[in-house]
Amino acid sequence: MTDGVPNHAGLRRKPRQTRSQERVDRILAVAEALFTTEGYAKTTTNAIAAQAQVPIGSFYQFFPDKAAILQAIALRYTGRLQQYLKTLLDTPDVAVLPLPEYVDRLVDATDHFFVENPGYHAVFMDAQGTIPELNEIESAADMALIADLKTALAQRNPGLSQEDLEVVGFVVIKVIGNLLWLSIDQDQTRRQRLVLETKKLALSYFQNYFPIESQHC
Amino acid sequence: MTDGVPNHAGLRRKPRQTRSQERVDRILAVAEALFTTEGYAKTTTNAIAAQAQVPIGSFYQFFPDKAAILQAIALRYTGRLQQYLKTLLDTPDVAVLPLPEYVDRLVDATDHFFVENPGYHAVFMDAQGTIPELNEIESAADMALIADLKTALAQRNPGLSQEDLEVVGFVVIKVIGNLLWLSIDQDQTRRQRLVLETKKLALSYFQNYFPIESQHC
DNA sequence: TTAAAATATGAGTGATGCTCATGTTTTGGA
DNA sequence: TCCAAAACATGAGCATCACTCATATTTTAA
């Protein structure tokens, strides 16, 4: 992507005029609201266009098809998450934290993002599988997260091979994501417990690759 | 379900005659093949009916809607998986295996099932989110697996509370399922590595709740 | 044998994603 | 300032798909 504004990704025509840009923004806002409340399948393109006060024809000037709106919204979310976690991982203070605290921070940050962005859950939950492009977006987003985590972990244990770093990053990102994702549907008590278990799980696994230095009997 | 045959679940009318039963079987077989090769969204009910040599009207005598076929297929798969794992967990020899070997068996069995039943992956991958009933089926299937694992784990450490058993079962079932699920798309080398990592992950986590008896410095 | 109940059938209906012919606005050179 | 050409806007209408229902056929049982 040569363009810094992810809004334009997958657009049929890039809006040049102010009015057009406003229309695209309105469409995305309305679509996100409808997808979240009604679901992707039950939301019609005509309804989005009508509620955004945009003729259906103009709608299709910007978006090649219905799926493209969801892709645009999904891209916005994955971008936010990656930036959020990268900021954490790149903080010098965090990099030198003992492993348990490090895992705490990582899991808490991911959990926090999920809680603060309920649309993320709603959008990805909805049309997964139906839209192959969505899976690619999620996959690409995870790749980026894994890459960030890899550099952070390499710093922590320079002895690990690239293959090991890749696999450990993959497992940790996927597992944390999956468990916290599942915890969203649960009630408050169970959710907190699952966050705790996620930390326990990640820490136990990490210790296979980052042995505690101060281990003595 | 009072009926032992899961094929009839969610049917509009239960086929009483031999011919009807054959028709339903043909529909399910054709639908599974088409869903797997073409995908759920791109497969039309008319195409299923035509290829199964059943008029579209008769199709809808048996199935209330398109989603019901997928549900029937999904139920068949989850039933098979549960039976497969329950058999393993209920084997007396397995119950007394040391934890590492126990985890090995559990993970290998799940992996084996995924490999032997590619349709499971295809069917669930496809229309998740689009069909709320599918999520319920998957959720119910996981609940059953968790229940089976709970009793097996309770035997292994009677000191654990119900809440702990529930959470540990939940985490392990979900995490193993998720990682092995993801491993399916990967190439052979990476797949084997991920199976290994899944074992490592599950074992490390288990050791929080099942301390090694023979631990001494 | 036959009337009623159960089952089979496929043309037709409504809804939805998307197009395209036509109309309107903006642009930039003279 | 004027005008022609390019860019943009519009919504009635098309194609497709899930699903129905009026009618025809078969089975049941008295």
What pLDDT is recorded for position A171? 98
Q: Taking 90 as the threshold, does the pLDDT of residue A127 lie above it? A: no
Structure tokens at B179: 């990682």
What pLDDT is recorded for position B32? 95
Higher pLDDT, A167 or A2: A167
Supply the DSSP string of chain B, one letter for each residue: ---S-GGGTT-SS---SHHHHHHHHHHHHHHHHHHHHH-TTT--HHHHHHHTT--HHHHHHH-SSHHHHHHHHHHHHHHHHHHHHHHHHH-HHHHTS-HHHHHHHHHHHHHHHHHH-HHHHHHHHHSTTT-HHHHHHHHHHHHHHHHHHHHHHHHH-TTS-HHHHHHHHHHHHHHHHHHHHHHTTS-HHHHHHHHHHHHHHHHHHHTTTS--TT---
Q: Of A132-136, A168-172, B162-166, where does mean pLDDT reach its minimum?
A: A132-136
Using a CB-CB distance cutoff of 8 angstroms, which residues of chain A are in contact with residue B197?
167-168, 171
What pLDDT is recorded for position B138? 94
Residue B214, chain A, CB below 8 Å: the answer is no
8 Å CB contact of B208 and A200: yes
Q: Taking 80 as the threshold, does the pLDDT of residue A114 lie above it? A: yes
Q: Taking 90 as the threshold, does the pLDDT of residue A4 lie above it? A: no
At A204, the pLDDT band (50, 70, 90 cuts) reads very high
Q: Taking 70 as the threshold, does the pLDDT of residue A210 lie above it? A: yes
What pLDDT is recorded for position A140? 96
Using a CB-CB distance cutoff of 8 angstroms, which residues of chain B are in contact with residue A163?
193
| Residues ≥6 apart with Cβ < 8 Å to A179 | A194, A197, A198, A201, B171, B174, B175
Task: List residue ranges whose Cβ is under 7 angstroms from nucleic strand D.
Answer: A 13, 16-17, 19-20, 23, 54-58, 60-61; B 17, 43-46, 56-57, 60, 64-67
For C6, nearest residue by CA–C1' is B16
Mean pLDDT, rounded, for A135-142: 94
At B17, the pLDDT band (50, 70, 90 cuts) reads confident
Give the residue carrying structure tokens 């996100």. A32
**pLDDT tens digits along B65-105:** 999 999 999 999 999 999 999 999 999 999 999 999 999 99
Residue A91, chain B, CB below 8 Å: the answer is no
Mean pLDDT, rounded, for A114-129: 86
- The per-residue pLDDT of chain A, averaged, comes to 89
Mean pLDDT, rounded, for B146-170: 96
| Residues ≥6 apart with Cβ < 8 Å to A195 | A107, A108, A111, A180, A183
| Residues ≥6 apart with Cβ < 8 Å to B199 | B100, B103, B104, B107
In angstroms and rounded to an integer, the radius of gyration of the C-alpha atoms of chain A is 20
pTM: predicted TM-score of the whole model, two decimal places: 0.90
Q: Taking 50 as the threshold, does the pLDDT of residue A13 lie above it? A: yes
At B54, the pLDDT band (50, 70, 90 cuts) reads very high
Give the residue carrying structure tokens 């907190």. A192
CA of B60 to C1' of D20 (A): 9
Using a CB-CB distance cutoff of 8 angstroms, which residues of chain B are in contact with residue A208?
200, 204
Q: At what angle do helices B66-90 and B118-126 cross, to 10 degrees?
A: 130
Higher pLDDT, A8 or B33: B33
Residue B212, chain A, CB below 8 Å: the answer is no
At A7, the pLDDT band (50, 70, 90 cuts) reads very low
Structure tokens at B137: 């089926």
Mean pLDDT, rounded, for A119-139: 85
In whole angstroms, give the CA distance from residue B28 to residue B24.
6
Closest CA to B172 of B79, B110, B124, B114: B110
Residue spans of alpha helices (H) in chain A: 18-38, 45-51, 56-62, 66-90, 92-95, 99-116, 118-126, 132-156, 162-183, 188-206
At B1, the pLDDT band (50, 70, 90 cuts) reads very low
What pLDDT is recorded for position B2? 28
